[in-house]
Amino acid sequence: MERLDKIISHAFSLSRKQAKQAIQSGAVKIDGIVVKASDAKAEPSQVTLDEKIADYKEHIYIMMNKPQGVISASEGGTQKTVVDLVPQALRRKGLFPAGRLDKDTVGFVLITDDGAFAHDILSPKKHVEKTYFVQTDKPIPAELPDRFRQGVVLYDGSVCMSAVLETDSACTCTVKIKEGKYHQIKRMFRVNGLSVVYLKRTAIGGLALDASLKEGECREIGAQELALIRDEQG
């Protein structure tokens, strides 16, 4: 059970003040009966505004195919952010990207208003794998998968967790990492003498980026898909 004004403001993207005004105007019903008290408690499925059912969800989870040139932040000053690209229908207060991709990296960014969920999937302790398609400037040496598995030591001396590298062609591969150090993939290659010329995140946990999403597009993630994020077998 939630407060009526909270349900209305979430479900219909209204400010709390606008929600209270709608309730006081008599446009809101619980089980078909007009209720004018903003602090009345109800289940979202019982509530309507102008006969429209409040399809209330406590949190929203959005899959975006991030394009190049956009920053992974909620506010970017003069720079365009991934949150700026979220269409009005999916907009809510408090949206932020759960994990950052570099400005020139493309692919799967998860945007949500659920801080606890974001913390969970980003914590290295939770072992949620992030999968990247990588293109390098030079052929990938045969011993690189072993080095990645053993844990790459970066130039600053920090040690990366064991990572999986599967070669696709001479200069392309798939890499899976379970942590998110700053510029991690680029630095893991750099210390091995290669530059990353193209980087795309293709999956988070067991949930792959929807191939039908063009760069800059996004869609809501359903409950079953959300569960796949924590399910490495997915």
Q: Least Å distance between CB 189 and ligand URA?
A: 8
Q: Please report whether residue 199 would count as binding ligand URA according to CB under 6 A.
A: yes
Beta-strand pair 106-112/196-204: parallel
- The 10 Å CB-count burial string (b at 16+, else e) for 138-162 is eebeeebbebbeeebebeeeeebee
Q: Least Å distance between CB 60 and ligand URA?
A: 23
Residue of 5, 31, 102, 113 marked active site: 102
Name the residue with tokens 């899976």.
176
Q: Please report whether residue 82 would count as binding ligand URA according to CB under 6 A.
A: no
Beta bridge partners of 131: 176, 203
Give the x/- contact pattern for ligand URA in 18-57, rule: CB under 6 A.
----------------------------------------
Which pair of structure tokens corresponds to residue 203? 């999956």
Beta bridge partners of 61: 112
Q: Least Å distance between CB 228 and ligand URA?
A: 20
Beta bridge partners of 63: 110, 219
Specify the stretch interacting with ligand URA by CB under 6 A; choose among 30-38, 80-88, 184-192, 212-220.
184-192
Q: Is 104 a catalytic residue?
A: no
Which pair of structure tokens corresponds to residue 131? 């999968």
Specify the stretch interacting with ligand URA by CB under 6 A; choose among 25-33, 99-107, 141-149, 157-165.
99-107
Q: Please report whether residue 185 would count as binding ligand URA according to CB under 6 A.
A: yes
Please tell me the distance from the alpha carbon of residue 182 to that of residue 38, in angstroms, as a whole number. Answer: 45
Q: Least Å distance between CB 121 and ligand URA?
A: 14
Alpha carbon separation from 157 to 151, 164, 192 (Å, rounded): 12, 20, 14
Report the residue from 183, 190, 219, 230 that binds ligand URA according to the rule CB under 6 A: 183
Interface positions with ligand URA (CB under 6 A): 101-102, 105, 183-186, 199
For the annotated catalytic residues, the residue numbers are: 102
